Chains A and B, each alone.
Chain A
Amino acid sequence: MSCSPRRVFLITIFLLGISTAALASDFQVAGMVVNAIDGSPVARCQVLIKPDPFGDPRTMSKPMTVITAEDGRFLFSGVAEGKYTMIARRNGFRVQPLNENEGLTSAVVVGPGKDSQNIIFRVQPSASITGRVEDEFGDPVANAQVSIFRRAPLQGKTIAYPRGRTAANDEGVYHFYRQPPGEYFLVVVGRPWYTQFAPYHNSLNDDSSARKLEDGDADLDVAFPLTYYPGTVDVANAMPVRLHPGERFVADIKLNSVPASHFATAKPAPEGSSRVEQSLATTVFSVEMNMDPALRIMRNDKTTDFTGVPPGHYILRHIRPATETPSDEMQQEIDVSSANRVEFRKTTEGTPVTGKIVLEGIDEPLRETMINFDKGDGHILAQAHSTPNGELAPFKLFPGQYFYSAISKQAVIKSFQASGAKVIGRTIEVGTSPVSLTVTMADVAVVIEGTVRSRDGKPICGALVVAIPEDPEHNHNIFRRDQTDTDGAYMLKVVMPGKYMLVAIEDAGDLEWSNVDVMRRFFARGESIQVLPGSDITANIVAQSAKE
């Protein structure tokens, strides 16, 4: 039997394929886990690698876990070529991915010519804040709601943002653990323990009788105002907790009771409405916080009685369910005084908004699309839903400036026009006049990718890459950023057409990457690029150091 040259060629290709497949699983991932504070090796730490969410799991290794040796070293053998997420966990440390920084991580890249055996994994020790919430008599405030705010860069700007909430136990003790080091504020709302034994003060019907007490009797109609650590109601006097890695900070908080107020919502539910959600909120570090300790009692006429309300400035919101059209939204700013008096300062009605979505250059019907409106912090305040014919379901926006963005599986926003409102960049300024939108959507977004190297040409792992748009103030939500992997590669996805400054920064840490005043010093050695619709870009950049 002879073997034709064609058959020999095919067999050779087949054998090469087998050999390549064998080699593809013969890589090693190795390195050392060290304490980020002092660089000491971390023994008995679990290290996991698993396929990167954007990799092809069929050709990559299954998840693997190893435990570091006494010298902190770890080794994975027989790893297939590909991109992996690496995570470490150990008691006393937060669960953390490699080079975690504000939501970004570095992937471990495995393959020919890739250095995956010298990984230094710096793990941050856990820190915690614990304390006791007590009243002016030293009694614990059980079930007090303690909120923690972290002051750190978020979306590239340093702000105090909420990081969690917990309830104090019967002893008034609360814990926030596995916290990264940084600066924190603590805010507490709670109810005096004895108020739960007070009868309901129906002061709305008969104000005079509400606080009529027998001589010498205890006044149980009191409330705790929203209080900041260590026991102040004034945010200006709030004391920050500076939490160091590995620290257990004890922050006891004292609450002082004040006479409570009561009021009824001024606006009943509209005719024909099944219900209107009425909620009471206050603002803490620009974030709305519901006043849970206040009691709400719905009346038959669909107004709501609020009772046990501490004095303060509140936002009273009336929201009709979105299932009922037209949706009805109204908010009132109110001042509640200790004298059981409520002043409705400002009533704001939502401005009606209509509009349509035009799909450009895409030969298929419009699929479900949402247009979101936020204040630049990513917290969506309104959402417009498309209908099958391209119209937007009518909705309301309170007057003010918003950033707009879209959620769509088909396209991105190419242009955004509004009658009755002012559009600058990715912002819209809404007044009291009805607004009509025309949103044109097309497949114009691109990918920018490349490698970040040091000045001597070595790939840099863990560098921050930022694309800063022109007129950043009005284009805050089209900043794009990534962090380089172990081979120095980065990829910026869904980049909108326009002009950008592209920079790569080592040791970025808490850098305010969306603050142009902070970033301007990197522009001179950055790359100015023009993104054209649909044209992907490759851009290799030289890293700059944030420490320079």
Chain B
Amino acid sequence: MAIPRAFTYVRLSLRLLFFAVFLLAAILVWPQTFDRIPGNSPSFARVSDSPIYTLQGTVLNSVTNQPVGHALVQVFGQTPRNVFSDSGGHFQFPNLPQMQTTINVIKPGFLQEGKGDTGGKIAQINVGPQISPVIVKLIPEAEIRGKITDKAGEPLDGVPVNLYFFLDQNGVQKKHLYRPTTQTDDAGEFQFTGLPGGDYLLAAGPSWKDLSDPYAPGSLTPFVYPQSFFPGVQKAEAGTVIHISTAQHARANFALPSGRTFAVSGSLVGGSPRNSFLQFVNTSGQEISIVQRREGLEGFRARLSAGPALIKAHSTDQQGNHFYGQSEVDVSSDLRGLRIAMEQVEIPVIVQRESSPAPNEERDAPPSLNLISLDPAHPDTSSQVTGEPGNWNHSINNIEFGRYRVQVNVTPQWYAESVTYGGVNLISEPLVVGPGGSQSIQIRLVRRTK
């Protein structure tokens, strides 16, 4: 039986109408339904030709799972968008186009990216039909507070307090200053907030509490609280490491031992005294000079706390050559007439390549050397690349006497087959730098096979 053409049109129109009503209902009902259920599936709407979506989520404290209100939530698309979470920790971004994005959540009191952890960051979100609600967990910051007193238990105000953390550098555990120095308040209290969990070392002092002229000899007994490490020891190595976990609030009270200081004076010999500076450190590398003063170009005076000390002198002449000298002393009385001889310390670095570089490698950066000090009294250093492009020979000229582990940084096409200093294999043995001239470091580079 033939169906009349007019009836066919009616059936088609009804199907279209039914579909249109269904679609309209879906558009109207779907988003409203899910908007009432926070944390449920995403909304979907069609405003223009491009579909748009709503990204929803919740910000939680990673330790307590409590919601975090008034956190700034950011998504990064063509234009960054910002919302604040509500008191229940909920947030939503309506009107997002289909895209891949990241979410970043920031709130004071919680760790941010780059602060030792990746809390508050979701690396990749696919905004689109399959989008689902997200939960962002913020990691609470840890803190260390404490009180510094003297041996009698009286609070010490205005005492500098430093916090150190540890870092493995090519197999050598080094301590680094975590935050700028803070000072105790009038109740002797200090605080370091915003810390990621980890191991820390705490130091307080030096604090110079005497009122008199520090340079005056004779009857004076200037008192000092030399730098001490928690729980009140002189050497960093003897200090107790404070381990704190995420969100932990730790207290570290300690009493500073006091001692007297001594006058130390002398002169610089050699080098370029006009452009020189002095450093007074203990065996842990901590500054122990309470005050210091230069007298003319070559003379110096200082007051140091008692104990082993290293006096370091650096200078640079007009040609840019570096000079270094040092004197080890054990301070238990006034010391006068010290002479610190400075000499030029330059270690040439000779680079030998197994094969000639390809034309496109001529301008590659030459290998650089990191010298990691094995002695806490001396800092790390690195080689200075100053030669013409293509000339990979260079030198190390800003180094103190001491022992160093040598690390060679080279472009991926090459590896260091051997690194030697005289007869010493620097791949397995430390570099020892001392007075009286130096030899060159020989590096042989071999091309990596693919």
Give the interface of A toward B (CB within 8 A). Answer: 44, 46, 48, 50, 62-65, 87, 89, 91-92, 95, 126, 128, 130, 137, 139-140, 142, 169-171, 173, 175, 177-178, 193-194, 197-199, 214-218, 220, 248
Interface contact A87-B211, CB-CB below 8 Å: yes
Closest 3 CB pairs of A and B: A177-B186, A48-B211, A63-B212
Interface contact A197-B81, CB-CB below 8 Å: no
In angstroms, how far is the closest chain A Cβ from the Cβ of B70?
4
B116 within 8 A of A: no
In angstroms, how far is the closest chain B Cβ from the Cβ of A286?
29
Cα distance, A89 to B212, chains bound together (Å): 11
Interface contact B108-A63, CB-CB below 8 Å: no
Cα distance, A177 to B74, chains bound together (Å): 40
Interface contact A46-B210, CB-CB below 8 Å: yes
Sample (25) of A-B pairs whose CB atoms are under 8 Å apart: A44-B152, A46-B211, A48-B211, A50-B213, A62-B219, A91-B150, A92-B186, A126-B157, A128-B185, A137-B70, A173-B191, A175-B186, A177-B185, A177-B186, A178-B158, A194-B82, A197-B72, A197-B74, A199-B80, A216-B93, A216-B94, A217-B83, A217-B93, A218-B84, A220-B72
Cα distance, A194 to B158, chains bound together (Å): 32
Contacting residues, chain A, for B220 (C-beta < 8 A): 62-65
Cα distance, A41 to B146, chains bound together (Å): 30
In angstroms, how far is the closest chain A Cβ from the Cβ of B59?
13
Interface contact B108-A139, CB-CB below 8 Å: yes
Partner of B92, one of A87, A89, A173, A216: A216
* Chain A: CB-nearest residue to B217: A62
In angstroms, how far is the closest chain B Cβ from the Cβ of A206?
14
With A64-B220, A170-B194, A175-B185 known as contacts, the answer to whether A220 contacts B82 (CB < 8 A) is yes
Most A C-beta atoms less than 10 A away, residue of B82, B158, B221: B82
* 8 more A-B residue pairs beyond the given contacts A89-B209, A139-B107, A194-B84, with a C-beta to C-beta distance below 8 A: A50-B212, A65-B222, A91-B157, A92-B155, A139-B109, A169-B182, A197-B106, A216-B92
Contacting residues, chain A, for B219 (C-beta < 8 A): 62, 64
In angstroms, how far is the closest chain B Cβ from the Cβ of A190?
13
In angstroms, how far is the closest chain A Cβ from the Cβ of B346?
41
Interface contact A197-B213, CB-CB below 8 Å: no
Q: Which of B160-198 contact A (CB under 8 A)?
A: 182, 185-187, 191, 193-194
Contacting residues, chain A, for B69 (C-beta < 8 A): 137
Interface contact A142-B108, CB-CB below 8 Å: yes
Partner of A214, one of B74, B81, B154, B193: B81
Give the interface of B toward A (CB within 8 A). Answer: 69-70, 72, 74, 80-84, 92-95, 106-109, 150, 152, 154-158, 182, 185-187, 191, 193-194, 209-213, 216, 218-223
With A170-B194, A177-B185, A197-B106 known as contacts, the answer to whether A62 contacts B213 (CB < 8 A) is yes
Interface contact A63-B83, CB-CB below 8 Å: no
* Chain B: CB-nearest residue to A89: B211
Cα distance, A227 to B197, chains bound together (Å): 36
Interface contact A64-B74, CB-CB below 8 Å: no
Cα distance, A465 to B339, chains bound together (Å): 53
Cα distance, A92 to B211, chains bound together (Å): 16
* Chain B: CB-nearest residue to A64: B219
Contacting residues, chain B, for A139 (C-beta < 8 A): 70, 107-109
With A91-B154, A91-B156, A171-B191 known as contacts, the answer to whether A64 contacts B212 (CB < 8 A) is yes
* Chain B: CB-nearest residue to A127: B186
Cα distance, A262 to B170, chains bound together (Å): 50
Cα distance, A383 to B38, chains bound together (Å): 67
Interface contact B72-A194, CB-CB below 8 Å: yes
In angstroms, how far is the closest chain A Cβ from the Cβ of B116?
14
Interface contact B209-A46, CB-CB below 8 Å: yes
Interface contact B186-A215, CB-CB below 8 Å: no
Contacting residues, chain A, for B221 (C-beta < 8 A): 65
In angstroms, how far is the closest chain B Cβ from the Cβ of A498?
40
In angstroms, how far is the closest chain B Cβ from the Cβ of A246?
10
In angstroms, how far is the closest chain A Cβ from the Cβ of B217?
8
Contacting residues, chain B, for A95 (C-beta < 8 A): 211
Cα distance, A379 to B378, chains bound together (Å): 47
Interface contact A128-B186, CB-CB below 8 Å: yes
Interface contact A48-B106, CB-CB below 8 Å: no
Contacting residues, chain A, for B216 (C-beta < 8 A): 62-63
In angstroms, how far is the closest chain A Cβ from the Cβ of B43?
13
Interface contact B185-A62, CB-CB below 8 Å: no
Contacting residues, chain B, for A175 (C-beta < 8 A): 185-186
Cα distance, A128 to B185, chains bound together (Å): 9
With A50-B212, A177-B186, A220-B82 known as contacts, the answer to whether A62 contacts B218 (CB < 8 A) is yes
* Chain B: CB-nearest residue to A195: B72
Contacting residues, chain A, for B95 (C-beta < 8 A): 214-215
Contacting residues, chain A, for B210 (C-beta < 8 A): 46, 65
Contacting residues, chain B, for A194 (C-beta < 8 A): 72, 82, 84, 106
Contacting residues, chain A, for B109 (C-beta < 8 A): 139-140
Cα distance, A194 to B84, chains bound together (Å): 10
With A48-B211, A62-B213, A65-B210 known as contacts, the answer to whether A171 contacts B193 (CB < 8 A) is yes
Cα distance, A220 to B106, chains bound together (Å): 13
Interface contact B191-A214, CB-CB below 8 Å: no
Cα distance, A142 to B155, chains bound together (Å): 26
Partner of A198, one of B82, B108, B152, B155: B82
* Chain B: CB-nearest residue to A199: B80
In angstroms, how far is the closest chain A Cβ from the Cβ of B94?
6
Contacting residues, chain B, for A91 (C-beta < 8 A): 150, 154-157
Contacting residues, chain B, for A63 (C-beta < 8 A): 212-213, 216, 220
Interface contact B74-A178, CB-CB below 8 Å: no
Contacting residues, chain B, for A218 (C-beta < 8 A): 72, 82-84
With A62-B219, A64-B220, A91-B154 known as contacts, the answer to whether A126 contacts B193 (CB < 8 A) is no
Most B C-beta atoms less than 10 A away, residue of A50, A130, A177: A177
